[in-house]
Structure formats: C-alpha cells, structure tokens
Structure 1
Amino acid sequence: MRRPRNPRGRISARRTALAATATLVLAVCAPAASNGARAGPPAARAPALPGSATPDDGLSCTLAPGPDTRMSEGMPTAPGYSRSTGTVHALTLMIDFPDTPGEGTARQRFAEFFPRTAQWFARGSYGRLDYRPAAPVDRWLRMPHTFRSYGIERGSTFEPGYRKLLRDIARAADPLVDFRRYDLVNVLITPNAGPPAAHTVLSVTFAGNREAPRADGVPLANVSFIYSRQDDGTGSFAANGYRVLPHENGHTFGLPDLYTAQGADHAGHWDVMSEDWGAGNDVFAWHKWKLGWLTEDQVECAARPGDSTYAISPLGRPGGGTKLVFVPASDSAGYAIEVRTNEGNDEGVCRPGVLISRLDTRADSGEGPITVMDATPDSGGCTRQPNVHPELSDAAYRSGGHLDDREHGLRITVTGQDAGGGYRVKVTRSA
C-alpha cells in the first residue's frame, strides 16, 4: 500500500496513520503459492551473474530474502505474485455503492489511469513489461451493500471487510468476466466513497494473498484497490495522480513499501514505492533487476577485493550499457549504484548524478529496506515540487564524490562523467 505525501504542510499531521500501515502490509503481503491466474512461470527475477556466488568472490550480489520477512528486497521474489515481464493482463473494474453512486462515468474513471499506467510500465521496463489493462465491464459495477457497511478505513486488514467486498465484486462480475484470463485485478472505486486522498489515503493492495476468495476457479490473490483522487497541492486533480496505480501494482509484483511505519522516508522521490505524488519518478535499478527489467549484461557485481572500475549509463535511457553496479557488504546488505537523470520516467530529478543506496533484505515492507545515501546532507534539497520530500532530492553524487563504509572496508568513488551523461565509478574493497 502507499502513504500520503505532501511536504507542504500536511506530513506531520498525517504521519500518525502510518502505524496502521505497517500492520496492514505485514498482514496482507505474505508470499503464497502461485495464484495460477495464467499459465506460465512467475515474473522473471534476478539474472545469474557469472561468478557472483563463487567462493573466490566471497559474497553474492543476489541477496536472499530475510528469514522473517514477508515482502523484502531479497531475490528471488517468492512465488504467488504476478509476473512482471512479458504480457500482463490487468482486469480493471470500476465499482460504486448504493450510498455512493458513481461520480462521473466508469469510463472516465478508467481514463484517469490508462493508458498512462501502461506507458509508465513500458518506459520503466524498457518494453520488457507489456501491461494490458482490460475493462470488460464498461459501467459502474454496483455493490449489493453500502460502502459504510464494509467498515473500510485506513489500516483495515483483509478480514472481514475486504474479503466481503472482494466476494461481492466477484459475484457481480462473474456473469461478465472470465477471471482466468487475468494476472492481476485493479478495483477503481468511485472517488466519492471514503475521504479525499489529501486527508486519508485508503488505496491498498493485497498481494500473494493465501486467503483470497476464488472466482472461476482461481484465487484473487493480487488485487489493488484505488480510492479517491490525489491533488496537486492546489486542490486540483494531480496530472501525475495515476501513479498511485503503478505503486500499488508494484506490490502485486512483489515490491515492498520503502517508507517506515513511523513516517521516516529513507528513499525520497527516487522510487515510486516510496513516493508516488508530485513530479514523475521511476524505480531503483535494484527493483528493475528484481522485476526482470534489466538483463544480465546490464548488471555488474563488485564482489572481488581490490579496485574495480565501471562505466554506468543513465537508468532512464533505453538501450544497453551497465545500469546497476551492486556492492555486497554482507549476505543481507549492500550498496546499489546507478545514474539518475531527467530521462524516461524520471522527470522530477533536479540533481542528476550517481545515486548510491543501501539495501537491507532483513527489513520488511514498511521498515525502510532501502536507504538513499545523501551526497549533500542537511542541504534542504533542490526541489520545490509539491508533494515531494525535498531533502533527498539532491542526494546524487557528482565527480569527485565518494562514500566510505569503514565497517566493511568499502569505498565508492565517482571518478568522472562522460559526454553522453554516464558516469565512471571506482569501487575499492579492502577485503
């Protein structure tokens, strides 16, 4: 699920709701057996790296999931989530209730998210995810009970309200929909059901859900519920408000929330799993690798002792070249190095450069599993975009910048920039 984000005056008042968020994520994002929605294997995951796990290298770059995590940054992603490469069929249903009839037409609600969501995934995956939304019911699907009767509020768990709602959705759609044809389900709820997003964000995903009801013989294990509308900080509907759906669908692919239950933000606006309001953003290179969007020859593993140098091309730019250098620090943690520029989905980047982030696969969803290392701490950031946390917006390193991890004998140094916008990086391991 996602949390509200608006640094222009509403963050502190809304952070208290986040304690419920962590409980919800842990309760509903547990791995499960494959949902069987479509034939074929789950999403392509981390490619094998030659030598990355051999004794000579010491440490592996494909960090395993933490033993006590339900949705972590580890690889491979557990079964039960939707595939994230190839053709993904997303069933999209627009629903309303007797006490909150649909606001506008169902087709208008669908158009708030499509085709932009599909385009966002196409850009971010370099065409490796062919996301195909389908709305076979081209009208509001009326639920048999009032919205109030389901008892849904922020922090609501799957039982009992969402189970009841999902059963009602399946019954109402069953004569019109063959659920076996789809990999995941999007439920777009009429925006007048529940509070405005500026006050309380209800949007939530139940992913890898073992307890999901079945329809047409398949479990509805990966379902995103989208409520209300995001505003742009002025009271108007945000042009980029559709990105709540890529965030929620990120959970159906097995990606965790990057913020913490206490309201801390360690990843800033560098990944849609952290912030999906404000100017457009992409996802971390690690997530692209985890989702199968980077190929084996686009990832380098800096596991050997001594000095290693790498040329890294901008993450948002299609084409070849190294997009991710990973530096393992232990069997559960390490540093991801990537170059972020104003390309692809990254229109909100105000300080292009080398982004270095620390991963901890022992941290669960909602526990801050990725921390961006800030090249300019306490600067106040370089963005004044509404709904964007500013401090980490200028976190990228430039030529001459370096990061030291003395505990693990690591130094990462940005040695230069090439004419095409890429950067050269040296990784030094003392052992």
Structure 2
Amino acid sequence: MERPQPPGPIERPRLRRTAAAFTSLMALAATSLVAGPAVAGAARGPCALPRTAAHHSLGLDTWNASYPRPDRTLDAIMIFLSFPDSRPKYRPAELAADHFPATSRFYEHASYGKFKLRAHPRRDWLRMPHPSTAYGIRRDWAPTRRTAYLRDALAVADPHVDFSRYDIVYLVADPDAPGVDSDATKVVNFEHPLRADGTDIKRVVTVFERHPPDRNVLAHETGHVFDLADLYHRPMDGKGDWDTYVGDWDVMGSQFGLSPDLFGWHKWKLGWLDRRQVRCVPPTRTSLLTLEPIAAPRSVGGSTGTRLAVVRTGKDSVLAIEARAATGNDINTCTEGVLIYRVRGSTASGGGPVEVVDTHPGSEACWDRSVYPQLANAPLGVGETFTVPGERTRVQVEDRTATGAWTVKITPGV
C-alpha cells in the first residue's frame, strides 16, 4: 500500500458555533459510550453470542451503531499539536511515518483486503494555547484537565480542518514537550458527541507516543474505534504482569505481541469472516474439519475455507478454535498450531473477555521475546490432544496439510 498523500497545509476555514460545540465536550466518558443502537447485518447463527451492555462487548449478533464498522475505506485525519513550552524536534511527516503506512497495512492484512484505513496527516504543527505542563497529561488523567486539552485541541484545529471529510481523528502531541506522558495514549469517547462541520465527532484518539513509538500502538488504539475491547489484565497496584489473559495472541492484548493478528472472533465481529468461514461445532457429535491459518492472506486456491471453529459453552460463552502460523501479521510468531480461547460476551473491556487456554501448562517458550512466555506455546501441534478444563471439550490435531492448514478433530462434552 502506498503511503497516503496528506491534504494541503491549509483548508478552507468555516464559521462555527464553537460555544455550543465545546459545551458538549465538558461531558466526557473516560472509557465508554452507552451500549448503542443495533445495526443489522452482523453475525448470525447458534454460536453468535448476543451483544450486551458491557463496554466493548464481544457479543456479535448485532453491531453497535455508535462505532464505525471497518468494512469499507475509512479516512483518518492526523492533527499535530505543539505547545508554547517546547519547540518540536521532528516534522509532522516524521511522526506520521511512525504509524503509517504500517497501521494501514496491519488492517489490510487482518481484513483480507476488505478494509482500508486511509490516513491524511497534516503537514504543519498547530500551537496549543497553554504549556504542555498545564494539562496534567498522564494515563489516569484528571477529567477536567483532559477536557481542557480536548477543548483547546479542537479549537485550534477547527479553522484548518473540515471534520466532515474524516471518519477518525488522531490528535498527535509533540512527544518531546515536557508535560507529555507517552503512557496517556488512548481513545476518549464523548458522552455527548461534538458536532463539527455537520458531523458528529463521537471519539478521538489522543496520541502521546515517543519517537519512535511502541510498535503497533496505533493498531491497538484504532481497534477501540471499532468497538474492540482491551484484552490485557491491569494489576490493581500497577505492578505485576499485564499479559496473563492472552499473551502475544492479539494486538488488543499487547501491541508488542509476537502474534498480533486479531483473533478470528474479532474478525467475525468486524465482518471480515462470513458465516461460511465459521464452523459452529454441534454439541452432540465429533467434528472433523480443516482450519486455515487466521493470518493467511487468502484461502487456498481462492476458495472460502474454514478459519474459525466455535463450541457454544453457555448462554454468554464459547470456546473459539483457530490456527495460527508464521504468515501475514503473525510472521514473527513464536509457535504455530491450533489455538483455543474462551470468549465471554458480557465481560467488559479489561476484565478478561478473552482468555487463551494454555495447552502446555508448566512450560513456556520464547522467553527472550514473548510478552508472556507461559502462553507463547499455547497452540497445539500435530499429534497433540487437549481436553479443556471445565468445558470437557477435546481438541485433537491430526495433521497439517501440504498447503499449511491443520486437520482438527473436536469432540464437545467428553
């Protein structure tokens, strides 16, 4: 994918009702919008968990219309913000190159070409009215200071940006300003959308990353724009391991993961897998199927092959089974094989809505590269069998085909 061409340095300014617009900014939800209206066209079938009111619910029987669905080309504006107490060391083009086209390529690979993220970085810095230290920027940001930052950022951008042209807004701060904390990068949702240029701005991505940034950081944050949950575990005291739920296996768990491609469940939710590529395993008999790697760019011979197997385990839970291989976004994976994970539709973002099943407990792999070596070797290899504790579902990997797919036997309720 070619690097997106930015728009000109100045766009036509427009008269705006800024006072009324910024009043709506004062009511912010730090992490969540309401559950939102449903939209038809989402996943159906006996294994499609219902979407709940949980923040970023992984239920996928309906789509939350409060979020854009990445099943078409979406345009994103990158706005670069400087401060009176710091002179930027880098040009906006250099900071834009930290994230694009890499983030666009990530999503193009993950979606099998069904979604394109088109970035439009501005070429100039826009000066904020107050020093960076005045905003108290940090991970757990005081709401009043965060509101002040967003109010000022959108005010300085307003005369230069036609927000009606864009689906996503990235606010990129000068990473070397003294008050900027890279740990504060996140998506902020507006409880009451800001109306600008005839468009509702429901959320913005606030970027405070160092140069160069953490890899895949914007792929992770952009996932929240599409209603994907945080899959990491945040220790209560800030100490301990953050990656106990899913380890390396999905960028929504860790932006540093060796296998960052999105889970098949996520791809089903986002509309990148259709019903023909998802096998709902009957609860009363053994199923033998062939799973193509979730990160492989296309099905063998261009056919629509099975990418995800699902075993319903309860009203709000399933076991998901997929193949992971060193290809596409997973090219640097630690281990290949058949991955098993639990999904819970009513568990909120950050609470463990997905948990990878460790099929090799007591062992680890890639300790020098993995974010959580205990789960780095979670997939089953050829000839291995595992019965999931508590679920009584047995998964046996019988073979790997010449084309790289895995032959898998799944027996629920053994």
* TM-score category (smaller protein): 0.7 to 0.9
State the AA in 1 paired with 2:202: A
Q: How many residues align?
A: 375
Q: 1:301 aligns with which of 246, 255, 280?
A: 280
One-letter identity of the residue aligned with 1:328: R
| Structure 2 gap ranges (5+) | 1-27, 236-241, 300-304
Corresponding position: 1:112 with 2:98: yes
Question: Partner residue of 1:143?
Answer: 128
Deviations 1:374-411 (A, max 9, x none): 122221323522x7222211111012323324644422
Aligned partner letter, 1:160? T
Q: Is the 8 A contact 1:258 1:265 kept in 2?
A: no
Amino acid of the residue matched to residue 358 of structure 2? D
Tell me which of 190, 199, 203 is aligned to 1:218: 199
Structure with the bigger percentage of strand? 2
Identity fraction in percent: 34
Distance 2:34 2:317 in 1: 21
- Is the alpha carbon distance of 1:324 and 1:88 closer, same or farther for their aligned partners in structure 2, counting shifts above 3 Å? same
Assess, with a 3 A threshold, how the Cα gap between structure 1 residues 252 and 33 changes in structure 2: closer, same or farther.
same
CA distance in 1, matches of 2:395, 2:41: 26
**Alpha-carbon spacing, 1:298–1:409, altered in 2? closer, same or farther (3 Å):** same
Task: Quickly say closer, same or farther: Cα 1:257–1:280, change in 2 above 3 A.
Answer: same
8 Å contact 1:66–1:332 — kept in the other structure? no
Partner amino acid for 2:275? E
Give the corresponding residue for 2:296: 317
In the alignment, is the contact (CA less than 8 A) between 1:117 and 1:242 conserved in 2?
A: no
Q: What is the one-letter code of the residue matched to 1:396?
A: P
Q: 2: CA distance between counterparts of 1:371 and 1:332?
A: 14
Distance in 2 separating the partners of 1:393 and 1:405? 18
2:230 to 249, 257, 261: 257
Greater relative contact order, per chain length (Cα 8 Å cut-off, separation 6+): 1
**Does 2:43 correspond to 1:47?**
yes
Structure 2 length normalisation: TM-score?
A: 0.84
Alpha-carbon distance between aligned partners in 2 of 1:249 and 1:373, rounded to the nearest angstrom = 26
Letter paired with 1:253: F
TM score, norm. by length of structure 1 = 0.81
CA distance in 1, matches of 2:332, 2:316: 31
Distance of 2:41 and 2:123 partners within structure 1: 35
Q: 1:45 to 1:350 in 2, by over 3 A?
A: farther
Question: Quick check: 283-292 or 393-402, which moved more?
Answer: 393-402
Gaps of at least 5 residues in structure 1 are 1-24, 35-40, 53-59, 231-236
Q: Is the 8 A contact 1:267 1:274 kept in 2?
A: yes
Aligned partners of 2:349, 2:400: CA distance in 1, in Å? 35
Which residue of structure 2 aligns with residue 19 of structure 1? none
**269-278 vs 412-421, greater mean Cα deviation:** 412-421
User: Which structure 2 residues correspond to residues 263-282 of structure 1 after superposition, within 5 A?
Assistant: 263=242, 265-277=244-256, 279=258, 281-282=260-261
Which amino acid in 2 is paired with 1:31? V
Work out the CA distance in 1 between the residues paired with 2:145 and 2:185. 14
Which of 311, 323, 346 is matched with 1:327 structurally? 311
Q: Could you give the per-residue CA deviations for residues 344-403 of structure 1, whole angstroms, max 9, x where no partner exists?
A: 011221210001111112221111111111122221323522x72222111110123233
Q: Aligned-pair distance for 1:32?
A: 6.0
C-alpha deviations, 1:211-250, integer Å up to 9, x for none? 34332233321211111327xxxxxx46xx3410010000
- CA separation of 1:33 and 1:367: change in aligned 2, threshold 3 A: closer
Change (3 A) 1:410 1:365: same
Shift, 1:65, TM fit: 2.9
| Residue deviations 1:319-346 (CA, integer Å, cap 9, x gap) | 2311111111011111111111110011
Aligned residue in 1 for 2:69 = 83
Distance 2:35 2:411 in 1: 40
- Residue aligning to 1:420: 403
TM-superposed deviation, 1:133: 0.6
- 1:276-295 equivalences in 2 (<5 Å): 276-277=255-256, 279=258, 281-295=260-274
Q: 1:378 aligns with which of 344, 358, 362?
A: 362
Structure 1 residues 282 and 406 mapped into 2: Cα distance closer, same or farther (>3 Å)?
A: closer
Q: Which string of whole-angstrom CA distances, capped at 9 and with x for unpartnered residues, describes residues 136-168 of structure 1?
A: x311111111222222211116x3222222222
* Aligned amino acid, residue 141 of structure 2: S
Q: 1:352 to 1:274 in 2, by over 3 A?
A: same
Cα distance change of structure 1 residues 255 and 430 upon mapping to structure 2, 3 Å threshold = same
- Counterpart of 2:32 in structure 1 is 29
Match runs of 1:81-230 below 5 Å: 81-135=67-121, 137-156=122-141, 159-193=143-177, 201-207=183-189, 209-229=190-210
Q: Which whole-Å CA distance do the structure 2 matches of 1:349 and 1:66 have between them?
A: 33
Tell whether the 8 Å contact from 1:258 to 1:267 is kept in structure 2 after alignment. yes
Q: What SS does the aligned partner of 2:154 have?
A: helix
Q: Any conservation in 1 of the 2:397–2:406 contact (CA below 8 Å)?
A: yes
What is the CA–CA distance in structure 2 between the aligned matches of 1:292 and 1:384, rounded to whole Å? 35
